[in-house]
Chain A
Amino acid sequence: MLLKQLSILVFIYMAITTKAYSEETWKIASLNWPPYSGPELAHQGSSIKILKELLKKNNITLIVEFLPWQRAKYLVQTDPEYLAIFPAWPEDVFDNALLSPAIDWSEIGILKRTQQALNFDSIDELFKNHAIGVVSTYIYPKVFEDAIKKYPNQIEHAPNEFSLLMNFRFS
């Protein structure tokens, strides 16, 4: 009986210590960017869900803190508590960042009012002839960054997508 109890104790001890050594926690900084990431979304967003499930296969627990994007990028560079930022466009990171392969995919598009005509044959022509709203804290792919620099008077900067949306609502 004593031997059996001892065996159970040894088994429990081994289970606990094995778990402690095999589990790792990664803390990352993210942004509120629905549906990809956000504290109030199911599974904290579709991209966060993919990453969590992926890391779980290696017994890695993901902790996500949601911050304004600039703050997230700053903290990862200055606070050792944060390992990385996610989800990020490869252009929109920080100096000397180590980039993973694609974990999820987003889209970049042009948003307009349904009833509004928007005629253009190129990104350059779009920016040349129309007022364009952009999120000021994002670094866009080169084709857009070039146009933003070329036509600064056409650009309306917004701090986030919600502000961009409000510009449409009240225009």
Chain B
Amino acid sequence: MKLSSDRSSAAITDPKVMLHLANKEGITDLEALFIMKKELVMAFKDSTENRKRLKILTQLLMKSDVNKK
């Protein structure tokens, strides 16, 4: 049995995305309860060439500090 007349009482997603869209729509009465940080990765199709590309990307990431949050 679904509660609250078929309308969500909460939503699970990235709060930054929802608040960005809410701001664009002029919706100001939303708030977010933080649960967890989640890494954003690049997902390659498995192939010999892409394994080389992943190695290049990993090396670039190791040299930079973009993933040290």
Contact = CB atoms under 8 A, between A and B. Distances in A.
The binding surface of chain A is classed by DSSP as mixed
B32 A109 contact: yes
Nearest to A169: B27
User: Chain A interface residue count: which class?
Assistant: 35 or more
28 contacts: A35-B16, A54-B57, A57-B64, A76-B45, A83-B50, A83-B53, A85-B43, A86-B40, A96-B45, A98-B44, A100-B41, A102-B40, A103-B61, A105-B39, A106-B40, A108-B38, A109-B13, A110-B11, A111-B18, A112-B10, A118-B10, A131-B3, A131-B4, A134-B13, A141-B38, A167-B8, A168-B27, A171-B5
Q: Which 6 A-B residue pairs are closest in the complex by CB-CB distance?
A: A133-B8, A171-B7, A102-B39, A87-B40, A133-B11, A97-B43
Interface of A: 26, 28, 33-36, 47, 50-51, 54-55, 57-58, 60, 76-77, 82-90, 93-94, 96-116, 118, 123, 126, 129-135, 138, 140-141, 144, 153-154, 156, 158, 161-162, 164-165, 167-171
Interface of B: 1-18, 20-22, 25, 27, 29-46, 50-51, 53-54, 56-58, 60-61, 63-64, 66-67, 69
